[in-house]
Amino acid sequence: MAKEKKQNNIVRNMMIALVGGLVVGLGFMLLKQQMSEGTWNVINALLFQDITADQGFHSIGLFYIIGQLFMRGLQMAIVPLVLVSLSLAMCSISSSSKLGRIAGRTLIGFFCFYVVGACIAGIVAFAMKSAGFFNVKLPAEAVTEAATLDQFNPLATIVTAVPSNIGTAFSSNNSILAVVVVAIVLGLCMNALGDKMDPLKKVLENLSDIINLYLTFLINKVGPVAIFCLISRTFAIYGAEYLAPAAAYIVGAMLTLFVLVVTIYPIGIGLTTGLSPMKFLKKIAKVGVFGFSTNSSAACLPLNTRTCLDELGCSQEITSFVLPTGMTINMNGTTVMHMFAVTFIATASGIDITPANLITVAFLSICAAMGCPAIPIAGTTLIVTILSGMGWTSDLCMIAYALVVAINRPVEMALLPLNVIGDATVNVIVNKKENELNVNKYNA
């Protein structure tokens, strides 16, 4: 009860910061039109000016400083977050004969749903972008800055994925895919070496706890103040053009997530097992509702386990492997959200995102989401990972990302059912393929 109250307080603080930032930012935007240029320049120098720009030498830029400290604090955690989370996920996969086969089927199931979700989300997001839902009118100089980013061949991702120097890969958020590869290799090697790696595994688990504690503090305590400053500065400088695209992003992402939950999983169950999709949906619905409410895959694990064992007829042995593994690496709802968020951020920042870009975004997102911790807001934090991997880290991109952070709570809640119901779907499929599913209990 206390934990639920605390989560509600966090949501309330985020919403207060968002609304307060909108009110203050729009207020300054209206005042800017009424006051003299000299008066506005003083206010801008005190609160909003980018102090690193040429004209920012004599400025204080209070709101800019607070916002940048928060954004840099998030970026600081990206490399260790991906390295630790994904290494532990790979380390958890057993290499014994039977569980090796189960692990293979589990990973194939998760990956297939990842790809299907990313494809559908990419198509919808690109259609919304092409229809102009994400268009934002920005200052001419800002558009030039964003539009002159280097061209990127998606095939180059294959080459740069393997780092020639681990230290170099860890020194920049722009090499995050290389960190993903290192994390996978580290985790699989730890798995192969078995008990000898327990001390290193313990170190990584402790480091994971530190990272999660740090991010929780940063987002819960510093986040509301930083969001207020970032949103105020956004609207004071760039105006209200972000409102309509932000609303389009939320509605488009949430509707797509809901449609995917009630379509791809029942279809997957029907095609691979021949079982009744409707019976599955009826029994698993409460897990999805619980996931929507708690916004945490980890919190859903006990209920999901009991539902799979007691109502869907899954075996204890397979369930005890598939569900915890899915809780760690099956975050396809996060990938769906990333497709919309990155398309919105890029378009709002003046970048003409292409289908080839979206394929790269999907690849980066799947790799990053597989190492996403089963905690609230983690998926939103990893948006910076995708932006960094694409090289889209201009000031405008960070401003648009700040807006996503502020408004993303409903989307974060909507993606959880896709994650946890996906875990149960793969669990049922693997049980059926291993001939260990109690069909009578499933159909009861």
* Domains of the chain, first to last: 2-443 (1.10.3860.10)
Model confidence band, residue 8 (pLDDT cutoffs 50, 70, 90): low
| H/E stretch holding 259 | helix 243-261
Is a pLDDT exceeding 80 seen at residue 311? yes
d(CA 407, CA 346): 17
More confident residue, 39 or 116: 116
Work out the average pLDDT over 371-386: 68
Residue 394 and residue 145 in contact, taking contact as beta carbons nearer than 8 Å:
yes
Residue 58: predicted pLDDT: 79
**Which residues have CB under 8 Å from 193's CB, separation 6+?**
none
Work out the average pLDDT over 138-149: 40
- From the centroid of its chain, how far is CA 272? 28
Residue 119: predicted pLDDT: 95
Model confidence band, residue 24 (pLDDT cutoffs 50, 70, 90): confident
**How many Cα neighbours within 13 Å face the side chain of 27?**
8
Is a pLDDT exceeding 60 seen at residue 141? no
Work out the average pLDDT over 347-361: 87
Is a pLDDT exceeding 60 seen at residue 333? yes
Residue 242: predicted pLDDT: 52
Work out the average pLDDT over 41-65: 81
Residue 340: predicted pLDDT: 93
DSSP 48: I
d(CA 128, CA 117): 16
In which region does residue 274 sit, left (phi positive, over 0), alpha (psi from -120 to 50) or beta (all else)? left
Residue 99 and residue 259 in contact, taking contact as beta carbons nearer than 8 Å:
no
Work out the average pLDDT over 374-398: 75
Q: How much of the chain exceeds pLDDT 90, in percent?
A: 18
Work out the average pLDDT over 339-361: 88
Model confidence band, residue 383 (pLDDT cutoffs 50, 70, 90): confident
Q: CA dist 167 to 73, 170, 178, 366, 382, Å?
A: 20, 5, 11, 24, 21
Work out the average pLDDT over 228-251: 71
More confident residue, 351 or 81: 351
Residue 145: predicted pLDDT: 40
Is a pLDDT exceeding 90 seen at residue 269? yes
Give the pair of three-digit tokens for residue 156.
């180059």
Work out the average pLDDT over 90-98: 60
**C-alpha dihedral (159, 398, 144, 390), degrees to nearest 10:** 10
Is a pLDDT exceeding 70 seen at residue 376? no
DSSP 93: S
Residue 94: predicted pLDDT: 55
**Which residues have CB under 8 Å from 138's CB, separation 6+?**
146, 238, 241, 348, 349, 350, 396
Work out the average pLDDT over 277-302: 79
DSSP 35: S
Residue 371: predicted pLDDT: 59
Residue 189: predicted pLDDT: 86
